[in-house]
Chain A
């Protein structure tokens, strides 16, 4: 099991396209991926479900905890954290 805490740092937040990028990467791993949204309205999502990720409605500044369970958990959270911290490739 592996965890990583990240903050949504792109201006547009976790809208549909970033949510799909996230799910695409999560699906490259065997591990189960769960995402917990912190802040005033906490919520959990399956990191492999686009709809659930969009429902998080994570705006810029929202803390997310990424939890992975499985043999490749560490690699999964590392790559997913890089995606979020790299602003989903949206900004410089």
Chain B
């Protein structure tokens, strides 16, 4: 699986305005909805599901990245987006450090294997120091899309 198969370019937020976790999650879900990947009337429910998931255990796995994710019946096709915060956001991360890069993933309820494959490709890239560094430095949507294209091509 490739990042660009499920990351919705138009939904990428290169400069997240929110300064807290819940606000950033809402901003990214709203962006996915605006891009047509989620019905507008599902935004509140999906945001609530993502926040509940964070409360059960932070998806801030360290190194400045967080991967909030949820499976939801109103999600018909897997869709993800990326948010970048210049100032950093408190995600209650495992290493207690602020989060600068957020990869948010929504999956349908009945496709656990596809969800695992998407998480695999997201984390395979986030493990790489250079990928994290470039993502943090990408100040525009286009730059993030280019970075993901290069990652998908194995550069």
Taking residues whose C-beta sits less than 8 angstroms from the other chain, chain B's interface range is 10 to 19
Sample of 16 further A-B pairs with CB below 8 A, known A20-B57, A52-B127, A55-B123 = A11-B112, A14-B116, A15-B115, A16-B57, A16-B59, A16-B67, A17-B56, A50-B62, A50-B94, A51-B62, A51-B126, A54-B119, A54-B120, A54-B123, A55-B124, A56-B120
Q: Is A75 an interface residue (CB 8 A)?
A: no
Q: Is the CB of A13 within 8 A of B127?
A: no
**Residue interface mask B62-78, A partner, CB < 8 A = 1:** 10000101000000000
- A6 on interface, CB distance cutoff 8 Å: no
Consensus secondary structure, chain B interface = helix
B:90-118 near A, CB below 8 Å: 94, 112-113, 115-117
* Chain B residue nearest to A51 in the complex (CB): B123
Among B67, B112, B126, the most chain A Cβ lie within 10 Å of the Cβ of: B112
Contact size class for A? 10 to 19
* B61 x A50 contact (CB < 8 A): yes
Check B61 against A60 for contact (C-beta < 8 Å): no
Over the window 25-65 of chain A, the binary record of Cβ atoms lying under 8 Å from chain B Cβ atoms (1 yes, 0 no) is 00000000000000000000000001110111111100000
Once the chains are docked, how many angstroms separate the CA of A66 from the CA of B59?
24
Chain B residues whose C-beta falls within 8 Å of the C-beta of A57 in the assembled complex: 116-117, 119-120
CA A32 – CA B26 in complex, angstroms?
39
* Distance of A15 Cα from B111 Cα, bound (Å): 12
**Residue contact B119 to A12, C-beta cutoff 8 Å:** no
Residues of B in contact with A (beta carbons under 8 Å apart): 56-57, 59, 61-62, 67, 69, 94, 112-113, 115-117, 119-120, 123-124, 126-127
Q: Among the listed B62, B112, B124, which residue makes an inter-chain contact with A12, where contact means beta carbons less than 8 Å apart? A: B112
